[in-house]
């Protein structure tokens, strides 16, 4: 059984007030956020468009905890260096967006950031089999990427279990991050299945008190670890 301290809470600022992102970060840091999850969307890989490296650099100046940058963009290799320079401590690319995924993972690591690969709901865990020993973390999407506030896909639970098995068989202890539709109820289920990093947008910034919502999410997840 994993100790509860292993869990990390990564509030996604996608659901925060974009005119007050510095304040949003301060609120969730007060609630004990471990990471700040930053969603980068290009209007091609996903239908939505968000922000780029200059905004990430501005967030970096305000954040005390590491920035966890999730690239939902085509041709991520073209922008990886810019996002690492902007202050991404963790950089995640989508397996579906990259042809030479091994090269991309090595590129991120060579620049000094932690390299992660995200899988869409329709992408099987075996897509990561050959890279299980190379990645610093894995992101299992629990909704189809593109928007905050969507409904958790229940099948994700067994997918996280399979991913944990795949990593274990490769001798990897890389954390599994989950993203999409995570709230106190789904957090307990997905942590019991083996998730280590919980991304949450709407459950935190859709609440009247994001600091308290961050604490509540950790408590719900920790209860699942203990049970």
Question: Hey, which residues are catalytic here?
Answer: 39, 179
Residue 208, Cβ density class (10 Å: 0-12 exposed, 13-18 middle, ≥19 buried): exposed
14 to 41, 89, 219: CA distances (angstroms): 10, 18, 22
Determine, following the binding rule CB under 6 A, whether residue 40 of this chain makes contact with ligand DX5. no
Which residue number places its CB atom closest to Zn ion? Answer: 70
118 to 52, 78, 174, 179, 181: CA distances (angstroms): 19, 18, 13, 10, 16
Using CB distances below 5 to 8 A depending on partner kind, what does residue 8 bind out of Zn ion, ligand DX5, none?
Answer: none
Residue 2, Cβ density class (10 Å: 0-12 exposed, 13-18 middle, ≥19 buried): exposed
State the nearest-atom distance from the C-beta of 144 to Zn ion, in Å: 12
The stretch among 21-29, 105-113, 143-151, 153-161 that binds ligand DX5 (CB under 6 A) is 143-151
Q: How many residues bind ligand DX5 (CB under 6 A)?
A: 22
- Residues near Zn ion (CB under 5 A): 39, 70, 179
- Residues near ligand DX5 (CB under 6 A): 12, 14-15, 37, 39, 70, 143, 145-150, 179-182, 199-203
């Amino acid at each position: 059984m994993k100790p509860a301290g292993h869990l990390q809470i990564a509030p996604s600022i996608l659901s925060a007030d974009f005119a007050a992102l510095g304040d949003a970060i301060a609120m969730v840091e007060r609630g004990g956020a471990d990471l700040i999850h930053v969603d980068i969307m290009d209007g091609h890989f996903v239908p939505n468009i968000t922000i780029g490296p200059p905004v990430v650099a501005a967030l970096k100046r305000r954040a005390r905890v590491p920035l966890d940058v999730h690239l939902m963009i085509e041709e991520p290799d073209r922008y990886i260096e810019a996002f690492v320079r902007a202050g991404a401590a963790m950089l995640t690319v989508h397996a579906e967006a990259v042809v030479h995924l091994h090269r991309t993972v090595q590129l991120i690591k060579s620049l000094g950031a932690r390299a992660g690969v995200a899988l869409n709901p329709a992408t099987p865990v075996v897509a990561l089999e050959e890279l299980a020993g190379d990645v610093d973390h894995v992101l299992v999407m629990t909704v189809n990427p593109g928007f905050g506030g969507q409904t958790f896909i229940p099948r994700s639970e067994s997918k996280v279990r399979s991913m944990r098995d795949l990593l274990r068989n490769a001798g990897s202890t890389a954390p599994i991050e989950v993203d999409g539709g995570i709230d106190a109820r789904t957090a307990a289920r997905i942590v019991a299945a083996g998730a280590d990093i919980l991304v949450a947008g709407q459950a935190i910034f859709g609440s009247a008190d994001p600091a308290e919502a961050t604490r509540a999410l950790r408590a719900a997840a920790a209860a699942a670890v203990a049970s």
